[in-house]
Amino acid sequence: MELLGKTRIDFIGKRKISFIISAIISIVGIIGVIQVGRGAANMGIDFSGGTAMQLKFSKPISIADARAALHKNGIAKADLQEIKDGNKLLVKMAGATVGKSSEMVQAAFKKEFADNAFTVESSTEIGPSIGNKLRKDTLIAAVISMLGIIMYIAWRFDFKFGVGATCATIHDCLAMFAVFYLMNKEINLLFITAVLTIAGYSLTDTVVVFDRIRENLHKNLKGSMNTIFNDSINEVLSRTIVTSLTVVLAASSLFFFGGEVIHDFSLALLIGVLVGTYSSVFVASPIVVLLENRALAKKAKTV
């Protein structure tokens, strides 16, 4: 079976549109990263410190009632979120003190909803010092892995391809931040893990495309850069799509069936894989074309 026959799509010619799209994505992503850096985004308590609890009630409970109950018992600032299946409630309190807040929430609900018993499915309390340390460690981890990947790219590819691959990788990471920022999803340690995983993975598609382009560049020096690049991308298009498709299949089964704990994590992976496929065709390759053409023009001038 073949998904796509021989295609003749002008990918490079569409670079104006794709660059605009990618620029918007990247700018939103950068805003997201800056907000995360300022702590203004929806930060997970593992970074901000605080308390998060997941409670399972025996009867349905409305968020408004729950909030009123907490207010009445002196807990003014809490994020509440409902999990649809099984009367579950997520309570998040940023910056709350370790040891007290979880007990206070339990006491409040016990008092106000005496006829609606609940169990604590999970509770996480993180002090500010741990949050700070984690933020620092995560930043170091992100910087080291990005450096590692860039160094590997630099070693494997020549400069122009290296720039393309690096831009595509960074673009993919920014896209994940952009989507999570726009959807106001929580930025936590698992999200960062997903971003770093995608940073490592997104290169797969890029490499598949680049290898073919290099092969064709060696074979055929007559055609214009745009034609060689377009032909190469078209030749490996089905491969690019199928490799992503298998990972998408796996990631979406996690997303749909993996449960609430890794729901956002699988969403991040899914976005990353999809954007990674897009970027290897529409970001990485056009950047290399631009650089190659510029180099050619310079050469023509000097000769």
Partner 1 sequence: MPKGTGWRISLICVFVALSFLYLTPTLVGTLPSWWGTFLPKDKIHLGLDLQGGTHLVMEVETQKAVEGSLDLVATDLEDTLSSKNLHYKHIARDGEDKVSVVLYEKGTAETVQKLIKDKYPSYEQSPIFDEGGYAAFTLRVSEKDAQERKDKAVQQALETIRNRIDQFGVSEPTIQREGINNIVVQLPGIKDPQRAIDLIGRTARLDFKMVREDISPTGTIPDDAEVLKEKSVDPVTGAVTEIPIVVQKKSMITGDLLTDAQVRIDSQFNQPYVAIEFNSLGAKLFDQVTAANVGKRFAIVLDNNIYSAPVIRERISGGSAQISGNFTEKTAADLAIVLRAGALPAPVKIIQNVTVGPSLGQDSINKGLYAGLIGVLLVVVFMAIYYKLSGLIADLGMVLNIVYLMGALAALGATLTLPGIAAIVLLVGMSVDSNVIIFERIREELKLGKSPKSALDAGYDKAFLTIMDSHITTLITAAVLFQFGTGPVKGFAVSLSLGVIINLFTSLVGTKVTFDLFLHKGKVKKMSI
Q: Which is nearer to partner 1, 15 or 237 (CB)?
A: 237
Our finding on whether 35 is near partner 1 (CB under 8 A) is no
Contact string (CB under 8 A) for partner 1, positions 70-109, x = contact: ----------------------------xx--xx------
**Residue 86: closest CA among 252, 258, 259:** 259
Q: Where are the alpha helices (DSSP H) in the chain?
A: 15-38, 45-48, 63-72, 101-112, 128-156, 159-182, 189-201, 203-219, 225-235, 237-257, 263-279, 285-302
The stretch among 19-27, 32-40, 60-68, 257-265 that binds partner 1 (CB under 8 A) is: 257-265
Tokens representing residue 90 in the block: 């997520």
What single-letter DSSP state applies at residue 187? B
Is residue 80 classed exposed, middle or buried when 0-12, 13-18 and 19+ CB atoms within 10 A define those classes? middle
Contact string (CB under 8 A) for partner 1, positions 169-208, x = contact: --------------------xx--x--xx-xxx-xx--xx
Q: Which is nearer to partner 1, 5 or 74 (CB)?
A: 5
The stretch among 121-129, 174-182, 219-227, 280-288 that binds partner 1 (CB under 8 A) is: 121-129
Contact string (CB under 8 A) for partner 1, positions 143-162, x = contact: -xx--xx--xx--x------
Interface residue with partner 1 among 54, 230, 279, 280 (CB under 8 A) is: 54
Which backbone phi and psi does 132 adopt, to 5 degrees? -60, -45
Q: Measured between alpha carbons, how far is 176 from 186 in angstroms, rounded to an integer? A: 12
Our finding on whether 119 is near partner 1 (CB under 8 A) is yes
